[in-house]
Structure formats: C-alpha cells, structure tokens
C-alpha cells in the first residue's frame, strides 16, 4: 500500500477536463497538496493507505470554484445602496461611503467576511480588485485560500494625497514581495477607463510587462460610460486602450456588456479575456455580455460575482446558474452556454484568465488539490441523472460540505477550519452599527 495524505472516496468526480465528463464511484488521491491519481474507489482502497480517508458517498467532487472578479471588502456595504444605476450608485453612494469608511481595519474585516462566505460557497481562488492589497493578502494567507490580488489604481481616490509615482512604487513593492508566492499572485488593477488617464495607463503597461503581471480592469460596463468616453477621447474605451498598447492576452476586461463589431474584432486580434459578472450586470441594469458569441470566437470568458454591494452575494453556484440562463435568452438559443460550459467558466477558464491554470482549475494529476465536495442527496438535487446539470441548475451552496486548498481542509462538514465565523459575524454587525448610524446615504 502507498502511504498518502488524503483519499477522497466520492460518488461522482467531475474533472472539468475533458469537458462534460464525470466519473462514478471514483476517488481522488492527494499527497503533499497535489493530486496524484484519480481512480475507481475499489482500486483506490487497495492501492492507497491514507492518513485522512474521507468518504463522500452522496457527494460530487470537483475543482474549487474561481471567482474571477470581486471587491471582497465591499461585503460590509452589502445592501447599503440597492436599486440604483451604476454612475448614481458609484458617484453618490459607494465612492462617498468608501471615502468615509475605507481603512485597513475596514478592508481586513470586510475581506474576512468575504473569505468566509466564499469558502462556504465553494470558492477556493478569487481575483481581487480593491484597496489595501497588503491587508487582503494577509487575510487570504491566514485563511489558506488562493488569490490573484490587484494593485488598484483610481486616480481620483487612490491618489488623493499621493502622486502616480508613489502609487506605482507601492505596486512595484507589492509585485516584488509576492513574486513566486504559492498562494498569492498579483495583477495591476486600474479601476476603469473613465478614472485613469492615458499617462497612468502607459505607466501601468510598462510595469505589467516588466513583471509579467496581468491587467485587471472594468471595461464597457454601460452605454453611458462609453458615450462619456467617446465625448472625451473620440474613441470607444476599448479602441483607446488598443491605441495605448494595453490589449494583449494579459488583459482581463471585466463586464463587456457593450460589444460592437469593431470591439469584437479588437478582442479577437489582441486575445484579451473577458470576465462576465451576470448578476451585477442585471442588478445595475448595465446590459448583457454576449457570452456565447465570445466563446464561439475563442475569447476565454471567466465568471465573477463582482462585489457584494452589487450582487449581493459571492455565491458562484448561483452565478453559474444566472450565467447559463442569461446566455440562452441573449442568444435566443436554449443550447447556448451549457451546464458543462458554465461550470468550466467557473473553474478552468477562470484559472486560464488568472494565468493559474498550470496549478488549478481542473482535477488533473500534479495539479494543486483545490477541491470541493457537494452533497447531492437533498430533495432539490435528486434524482441525479447528470451531476453537472444538478450542480449548475439545482444545487444550493448550503450543500457544499467540504473544501480543500492545496490539500488543506478549509471547510469540514460545513465548518470553517481556518476562520472564526462567530468573530467575523460579530465584526460585521459592529460595522453595520457604525455605518448605519453615520450613513452618508440619508
Ligand atoms: Zn467590479
């Protein structure tokens, strides 16, 4: 018998690669944080002697979900300003609230709340876009999760008291500190084309090239944004960024609800990827990303929740379902964005967009053991003809029982192991008290 750390004996295993494939009564063997074999349960029990044997008789096992766009600490603004248009929401509510409340403590407590919510809903890796990246990195490492964390650049806010030079040197220090880190990768994250100058974007591009860091940026979220930009620059934002040399396979365009034929040609020519946030787009009435058309054109599309202030949760199972349903009505084609494709968007395609697919996104030998288990023996997910379909169209995040990152359990029998849920909830209530009592939204 081969001695290993962990053996997961599952009812179903969805490897993601190949697409739309699942194995019945299979096991995942894990040693030193990596997947070493996927094999039938009966063979696994003979071949391996595991320190931790986990029997998942009613469960489907699959890679951890990847939330490809979020602003974690905005969990503390969840439900603070609902039912508003994007620019009204940002200019009159969110940015003033951030101006009033943003601090290291706010980001730490809000991020911990987000991490707890993400782990409990099966997310093992996220693409972060918010202030105080050092705090976010510290929380992520303490929770033993994985993330690509953006160095946010928003000229009107970030640079209130500091120059572009200061912000970029802070970015350089952050990039250098986390170079080669096993859990934390870094990107450069200009907020959006309407809040960053050409000069700043060129500097960011130089830095991104030097450190081989992706650029993670909101793009073409609404028609109003494009009209305003057109008046200022006589170009659509994507064309403006193309002119500045920013577009490449390292560029992650979040939203892209407004895509004309010229945009489409630019995306194909440059190989940028898209991060689709369907529930945020629906809630802010931003528009519809033409997901199936992008996939048909070989644009890699990942899936994100956006922040909890515009979603209002960080639940990737719900996001997958929304993405699959919305894609069908947009394409006016019920075969658009199948369950298997929606699941790949939330796993392997997310890993591709984050440039972490050598490590995560699918259950393959030598990849990191970032894995979740979902109990399908519940009324809403029985009977099971196809576990992929049940996951995307019927499962709730409460059915997620176990989560591992690099073989380390972060959730065991629905209990968080690296975070103190009770303390996190008390802190959230404390922030609610302070923010509600002195709200800028009165
Ligand atoms: Zn966003």
C-alpha 58 – ligand 1 centre gap (Å)? 36
What was the pLDDT predicted at 442?
A: 45
C-alpha 254 – ligand 1 centre gap (Å)? 7
C-alpha 69 – ligand 1 centre gap (Å)? 6
C-alpha 171 – ligand 1 centre gap (Å)? 20
Half-sphere exposure of 417 (CA within 13 A, CB side): 14
C-alpha 82 – ligand 1 centre gap (Å)? 15
Query: What distance in Å separates the CA atoms of residue 429 and residue 64, rounded to the nearest whole number?
Result: 29
Per-residue pLDDT of the chain (442 residues), as tens digits, is 899 999 999 999 999 999 999 999 999 999 999 999 999 999 999 999 999 999 999 999 999 999 999 999 999 999 999 999 888 888 899 989 999 999 999 999 999 999 999 999 999 999 999 999 999 999 999 999 999 999 999 886 554 556 788 889 999 999 999 999 999 999 999 999 998 999 999 999 999 999 999 999 999 999 999 999 999 999 999 999 999 999 999 999 999 999 999 999 999 999 999 999 999 999 999 999 999 999 999 999 999 999 999 999 999 999 999 999 999 999 999 999 999 999 999 999 999 999 999 999 999 999 999 999 999 999 999 999 999 999 999 999 999 999 999 999 999 999 999 999 999 999 999 999 999 887 544 4
CB-CB contact of 2 with 47 (8 Å): yes
Phi, psi at residue 25, to the nearest 5°?
50, 55
C-alpha 149 – ligand 1 centre gap (Å)? 13
C-alpha 135 – ligand 1 centre gap (Å)? 19
* Triad 74, 77, 78: Cα angle to 5°: 95
**Read out DSSP for 273-285?**
EEEE-HHHHHHTT
What was the pLDDT predicted at 87?
A: 83
C-alpha 307 – ligand 1 centre gap (Å)? 6
C-alpha 210 – ligand 1 centre gap (Å)? 25
pLDDT tens by residue, 63-90: 999 999 999 999 999 999 999 988 888 8
C-alpha 71 – ligand 1 centre gap (Å)? 6
Rounded to a whole number of angstroms, the distance between the first and last alpha carbons of the chain is 67
C-alpha 152 – ligand 1 centre gap (Å)? 11
C-alpha 218 – ligand 1 centre gap (Å)? 6
C-alpha distances out from residue 286 to 257, 282, 283, 411, Å: 7, 6, 8, 35
C-alpha 399 – ligand 1 centre gap (Å)? 27
* Triad 298, 220, 322: Cα angle to 5°: 65
C-alpha 310 – ligand 1 centre gap (Å)? 9
C-alpha 306 – ligand 1 centre gap (Å)? 5
What was the pLDDT predicted at 167?
A: 85
Backbone CA torsion sign across 323, 82, 218, 406: negative
C-alpha 308 – ligand 1 centre gap (Å)? 10
C-alpha 364 – ligand 1 centre gap (Å)? 31
Alpha helices of 284-420 — where are they, by DSSP H?
291-296, 316-331, 339-345, 348-353, 387-393
What was the pLDDT predicted at 95?
A: 87
C-alpha 127 – ligand 1 centre gap (Å)? 10
Cis peptide before 312 (omega within 30 of 0): yes
C-alpha 340 – ligand 1 centre gap (Å)? 25
Please state, rounded to an integer, the average pLDDT across all residues of the chain.
95
C-alpha 162 – ligand 1 centre gap (Å)? 23
C-alpha 153 – ligand 1 centre gap (Å)? 13
C-alpha distances out from residue 204 to 6, 171, 187, 219, 269, Å: 43, 9, 10, 16, 21
C-alpha 247 – ligand 1 centre gap (Å)? 19
C-alpha 413 – ligand 1 centre gap (Å)? 32
Phi, psi at residue 423, to the nearest 5°?
-65, -40
C-alpha 301 – ligand 1 centre gap (Å)? 15
| Whole-prediction pTM | 0.97
C-alpha 311 – ligand 1 centre gap (Å)? 10
Pairing verdict, β 2-13 and 48-63: parallel
């Amino acid at each position: 018998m081969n001695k290993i750390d962990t053996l997961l004996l599952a009812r179903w295993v969805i490897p993601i690669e190949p697409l739309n494939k699942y194995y019945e009564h299979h096991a995942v063997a894990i040693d030193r944080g990596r997947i070493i074999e996927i094999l039938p349960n009966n063979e696994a029990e003979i071949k391996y002697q595991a320190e931790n044997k986990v029997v998942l008789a009613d469960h489907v096992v699959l890679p951890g979900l990847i939330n490809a766009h979020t602003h974690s600490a905005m969990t503390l603004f969840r439900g603070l300003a609902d039912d508003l248009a994007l620019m009204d929401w940002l200019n009159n509510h969110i940015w003033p609230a951030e101006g009033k409340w943003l601090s290291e403590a706010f980001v730490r407590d809000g991020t911990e709340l987000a991490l707890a919510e993400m782990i409990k809903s099966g997310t093992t890796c996220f693409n972060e876009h918010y202030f105080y990246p050092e705090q976010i990195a510290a929380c992520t490492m303490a929770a033993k999760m994985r993330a690509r964390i953006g160095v946010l650049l928003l000229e009107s806010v970030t640079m209130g008291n500091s120059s572009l030079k200061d912000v970029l040197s802070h970015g350089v220090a952050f990039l250098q500190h986390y170079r080669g880190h096993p859990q934390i990768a870094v990107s450069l994250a200009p907020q959006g084309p309407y809040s960053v100058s050409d000069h700043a974007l060129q500097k960011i591009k130089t830095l991104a090239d030097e450190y081989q860091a992706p650029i993670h940026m909101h793009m073409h979220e609404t028609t109003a944004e494009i009209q305003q930009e057109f008046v200022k620059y006589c170009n659509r934002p994507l064309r403006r960024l193309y002119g500045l040399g920013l577009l490449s396979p390292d560029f992650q365009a979040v939203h892209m609800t407004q895509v004309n034929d010229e945009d489409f040609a630019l995306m194909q020519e440059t190989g940028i990827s898209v991060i689709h946030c369907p529930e945020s787009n629906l809630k802010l009435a931003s528009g519809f990303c033409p997901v199936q058309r992008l996939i048909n054109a070989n644009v890699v599309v990942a899936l994100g929740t956006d922040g909890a202030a515009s979603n209002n949760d960080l639940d990737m199972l719900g996001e997958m379902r929304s993405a699959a349903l919305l894609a069908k009505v947009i394409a006016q084609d019920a075969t658009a964005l199948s369950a298997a494709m929606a699941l790949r968007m939330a796993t392997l395609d997310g890993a591709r967009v984050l440039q972490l697919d050598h490590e995560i996104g699918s259950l393959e030998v030598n990849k990191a053991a970032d894995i979740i288990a979902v109990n399908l023996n519940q009324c809403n997910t029985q009977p099971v003809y196809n576990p992929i379909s049940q996951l995307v169209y019927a499962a709730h995040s409460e059915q997620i029982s176990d989560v591992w990152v690099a073989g380390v359990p972060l959730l065991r029998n629905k209990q968080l192991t690296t975070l103190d849920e009770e303390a996190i909830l008390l802190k959230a209530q404390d922030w609610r008290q302070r923010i509600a009592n002195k709200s800028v939204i009165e």
